[in-house]
């Protein structure tokens, strides 16, 4: 069974606060997506200093979809992120981010876009706690899942049986995607729009969690 992690792409502080409190009713932690327009066109509200001051009910990860993650990673660690995930295609200093995260005993993960060859992961594998395989191009939520993602997860799992693997993007409570990804070796499924566009996010979460049982 794969763990289900709600993703929050916030419009503003109120939106983030409402979603993380809603998620606390059915999930153990969430992923906060961070987009500032420097790496991709999309933007969202993600202020680590403001978040640090909030009494959040559950832990969170930070997925930094920014050009220079080394400029903000430490702020997110100090805000309370238990895991920092950065983009493989970010042109910044990934080694510096790793150093910052490790120094404060947090987990470090690398996200890889659908079009990036899996071979580009290999040099980082010894330093990773987590690989996040994106099932859609990064940016806005609600895009269609790329079915090749399942084979990519299976490939990573075969080469690295002890590596923690997550999948983010396009996962719904239909088409048994969660089941196929769990069977391929995914430890964690990150789900955003399928939860927040549902009439009952808790029910949508439970449906995906049940489908992820293998």
* Integer Rg of the chain from CA: 16
User: Given 33, 173, 187, 211, which residue is catalytic?
Assistant: 33
CA–CA separation, 190 and 60 (whole Å):
12
> Under a CB-based contact definition with an 8 Å cutoff, are residues 149 and 115 in contact?
no
Query: Residue 11, Cβ neighbours under 10 Å: how many?
Result: 11
Identify the active-site residue in 146, 168, 187, 211: 168
3-state secondary structure of 36: strand
Across-strand partners of 61? 31, 83
Judge whether 168 counts as a catalytic residue: yes
d(CA 105, CA 103): 6
**Has 173 been annotated as catalytic?**
no
Nearest to 124 by CA among 89, 100, 99, 95: 95
Give the span between the Cα atoms of 76 and 33, in whole angstroms.
11
What is the C-alpha to C-alpha distance for residues 53 and 56, in angstroms, rounded to an integer?
9
C-alpha distances (whole Å) from 137 to each of 20, 22, 126, 149 are 24, 26, 26, 11
Which sequence positions are flagged as catalytic?
33, 168
């Amino acid at each position: 069974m794969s763990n289900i992690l709600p993703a929050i792409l916030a419009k503003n502080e109120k939106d983030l606060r409402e979603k993380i409190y809603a998620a606390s009713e059915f999930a153990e932690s969430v992923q906060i997506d961070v987009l500032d327009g420097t790496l991709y066109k999309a933007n969202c509200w993600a202020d680590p200093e403001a978040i640090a001051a909030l009494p959040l009910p559950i832990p969170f990860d930070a997925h930094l979809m920014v050009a220079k993650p080394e400029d903000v990673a430490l702020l997110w660690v100090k805000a309370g992120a238990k895991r920092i995930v950065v983009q493989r295609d970010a042109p910044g200093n990934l080694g510096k981010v790793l150093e910052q995260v490790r120094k404060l005993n947090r987990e470090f993960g690398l996200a890889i876009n659908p079009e990036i060859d899996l071979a580009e992961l290999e040099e980082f594998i010894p330093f990773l706690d987590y690989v996040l395989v994106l099932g859609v191009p990064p940016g806005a939520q609600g895009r269609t899942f790329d079915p090749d993602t399942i084979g990519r997860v299976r490939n990573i799992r075969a080469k690295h049986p002890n590596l923690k693997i997550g999948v983010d993007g396009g996962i719904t409570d239909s088409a048994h995607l969660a089941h196929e990804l769990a069977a391929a070796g995914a430890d964690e499924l990150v789900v955003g729009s399928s939860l927040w566009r549902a009439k009952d996010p808790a029910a949508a979460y439970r449906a995906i969690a049940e489908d992820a049982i293998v």
